[in-house]
Amino acid sequence: MITIARLTVRELSVFINDLSADSREVLPISKLRAMSFMSNPNADSSDVVLYLAYRFDKLIGYRTVLPDNMYINGEPIKIAWLSASWVHAEYRRKGISTELLNAIDADWNQRLLTSNFTPYAKHVYSKSQKFVKLIDVVGARFYLKATFLHSYNSFRHRNVMLAILERVINGLNPSFFFRHFLTMPNGVDLEYFSRPDEELCCMLEDATSDTLTRRSRDSWNWVLRFPWLKSAPLGDRIASKYFFASAPPVFNQYVLKVFRYGECVGMLHIQHSHTRLSVPYSYFEPEHAGLMARVVLMHAKKLNATFIVSYNNCLIRELRRHRIFFLSVRTRKREYLATDYMVDRLRGLDLRFADGDGDCAFI
């Protein structure tokens, strides 16, 4: 007998203060994510965000959703992004994920979207016949060095031979030599912020004004103040009970203005998570794209990132022009799926998303 339990945003506070978490075999949500969900400016306290599948008293699966607002013909409607999903190994391929998905679909009145999902999750979506492809966004991953880690948040390699092979390839990597001479152009200065000021917020609102989600200063401050990851150089005991990454060795966020000869020419929001560097939000005119790409590349060099990932066409084009500084480049594709109901609502509109939409700004 499978039962589905639901937790609202308000009820997540019970989890935050539950002292028995240490004794649980599996945690359905990390404390960082729970705190972030509770602070979501796009969520109501009554929104159901965590679905738990039990067989008797045993937790065998869970799924989280991220409430958001989407603007259709200028009017906001409440939607949810499907996020983390897990099923116990002994109960996979027995319809648990489908039952969780059906419960979410009913509660959220078919107003669901998803991106950044695993092949297994896509199989569940296809099997449910509730989702169709909405749009594909082409991106790129620029490798500064080789890596054989199975996850960019991993602490260690799966085996010694892969670690040795990685060291050999990187020892022969010519891009290391060329990056040694990488410098900032003359007349360029940077200013860093822990929280965005008025000018930065205006830049973000301008950058996302023609997207479906129209990010606000409240949403941006939420991403910066309540990330889902924290730095844990020596590992984190509680994080090991949560299936998804929550405590990589290194995690930092940087918000900065870029100046050229005293004039502000744009902003960047850079995230660095162990081996990965990404830019969930940015704002600049096309004529400054080359400078912005160089600033991103120099951050990756300084932070010892393994690769840069981007879905911003201007940044990708300019980073490709810096090909000499990379070991390799691979094309990436971010696929957005939506329910039939949402596809009908969005038909005929300009389907543009910000790079950080869904849970992409958090992971």
Name residue 212's amino acid.
L
Question: For tokens 């060099």, what's the residue?
Answer: 301
Residue 147: its pLDDT value, please? 87
- 3-state helix, strand, coil split of the chain in percent (to 5) is 35, 30, 35
Residue 19: its pLDDT value, please? 66
Q: Which residues pair with 100 in a beta bridge?
A: none
Q: Which residues pair with 2 in a beta bridge?
A: 55
- Residue 18 tokens read as 């539950």
* Distance, CA of 358 to CA of 335 (rounded, Å): 12
Residue 340: its pLDDT value, please? 94
Give, rounded to a whole angstrom, the gap between the first and last alpha carbons of the chain: 34
* CATH classification code of 2-136+335-346: 3.40.630.30
Report field, pTM of the whole predicted structure over 0.85: yes
Provide the residue ranges of all domains of the chain, joining segments of one domain with +.
2-136+335-346, 139-334
Q: Which residues pair with 257 in a beta bridge?
A: 191, 267
142: phi then psi, degrees, rounded to nearest 5? -105, 110
Q: Do domains 2-136+335-346 and 139-334 have the same CATH topology?
A: yes
Residue 239: its pLDDT value, please? 81
CA atoms within 13 A on the CB side of 342: 28
What top-level class would CATH report for the domain 139-334? alpha beta
Given a contact cutoff of 8 angstroms between Cβ atoms, the answer to whether 191 and 326 are in contact is no
* Distance, CA of 6 to CA of 167 (rounded, Å): 47
Sign of torsion, CA 249 256 363 147?
A: negative
- Residue 96 tokens read as 């648990």
Question: For tokens 């004004």, what's the residue?
Answer: 209
Question: For tokens 């700004």, what's the residue?
Answer: 361
200: phi then psi, degrees, rounded to nearest 5? -65, -40
Question: Which alpha helices (DSSP H) does the chain contain, by range?
Answer: 12-16, 31-38, 96-107, 119-128, 160-171, 174-179, 198-207, 217-225, 289-302, 313-320, 340-346
Given a contact cutoff of 8 angstroms between Cβ atoms, the answer to whether 295 and 266 are in contact is no
* Distance, CA of 289 to CA of 309 (rounded, Å): 16
- What are the mean pLDDT values of the chain's consecutive 10-residue runs (363 residues total)? 93 80 83 95 96 93 96 94 93 91 96 90 89 95 89 77 84 88 93 97 95 95 96 86 89 97 97 95 96 97 95 96 95 95 94 93 88
